[in-house]
Amino acid sequence: MVHTVVPTPVGDLTLVGSDGGLTGVYFTEHRHLPDPTGFGSRSRSGVGATDFAAVEQQLGEYFAGERRAFDLPLAPVGNDFRLRVWALLREIPYGETRSYGRLAGALGDVRLARAVGAANGLNPLSIVVPCHRVVGAGGSLVGYAGGLERKRFLLGLEAEQPSGPETGRLF
């Protein structure tokens, strides 16, 4: 495992990678942040299948409005249910949102909405696996490991509208 820190319009992001690919993208104040001692040594180049330069380039393109999907080798660590939820998140189109209940329905049981919410909250690949596109019933903005201000910014960026009174860099 290795990691690096890159500046973005939503603050510094810690990128974590392994031979299998990108394993983490974390905000500085990330809720449910794993123990950083497990991120390995700091490296600008990455390791194995993780090319931090490619991750940084694609994040830059995303924030510039030039990229709508990420094409990176990913290696998230989680149980089968979480991996299924995170795979569903990657299917939510750029600029669109889904409710927890709708994702639960896609898994075959709308009663799993709370479990989907818990798995969404533990997504280790913020932005790249777009957990910010999940909203509460009726479209309400609820829960985001990076904070609701960042979620609002990301959804505003994808809607190609200002995210509120703030424009430009938030953090």
pLDDT at position 171, please? 35
Give the Cα separation of 168 and 9 in Å (integer): 7
Give the Cα separation of 160 and 165 in Å (integer): 14
Residue 55 domain flag: yes
DSSP 88-99: HHTTSPTT--EE
Q: What is the pLDDT of residues 45-73, one digit of tens each?
A: 877 778 999 999 999 999 999 999 999 99
pLDDT at position 48, please? 79
Mean pLDDT over 78-84 rounds to: 97
Domain containing 11 — which CATH number?
3.30.160
Q: What is the pLDDT of residues 82-99, one digit of tens each?
A: 999 999 999 999 999 999
Domain containing 90 — which CATH number?
1.10.10.10
Contacts of 114 (CB under 8 A, 6+ apart): 100
Residue 170 domain flag: no
Residue 70 domain flag: no
Question: Chain-wide mean pLDDT for the chain?
Answer: 90
The number of folded domains in the chain is: 2
C-alpha of 17 from chain center: 15
Q: What is the pLDDT of residues 15-47, one digit of tens each?
A: 999 999 999 999 998 998 999 999 999 988 877
Q: Which range marks the domain in which residue 14 is found? A: 2-63
pLDDT at position 162, please? 42
pLDDT at position 165, please? 41
Least confident of 63-72, 138-147, 160-169: 160-169
Exactly one of 131, 145, 154, 155 is catalytic; which is it?
131
Collapse the DSSP code of 78 into the 3-class scheme (helix H, G, I; strand E, B; otherwise coil) and give the result.
Answer: coil
More confident residue, 171 or 138: 138
Is residue 140 predicted with pLDDT exceeding 70?
yes
Give the Cα separation of 134 and 99 in Å (integer): 5
Residues 105 and 50 in one domain: no
User: Counting Cβ atoms within 10 Å, is residue 149 exposed (0-12), middle (13-18) or buried (19+)?
Assistant: middle
47, β-bridge pairs: 50
Residue indicated by tokens 């960042």: 150
Residue 131 is among the residues annotated as catalytic for this protein: yes
Going by pLDDT thresholds of 50, 70 and 90, the confidence category of residue 121 is very high
pTM: 0.89
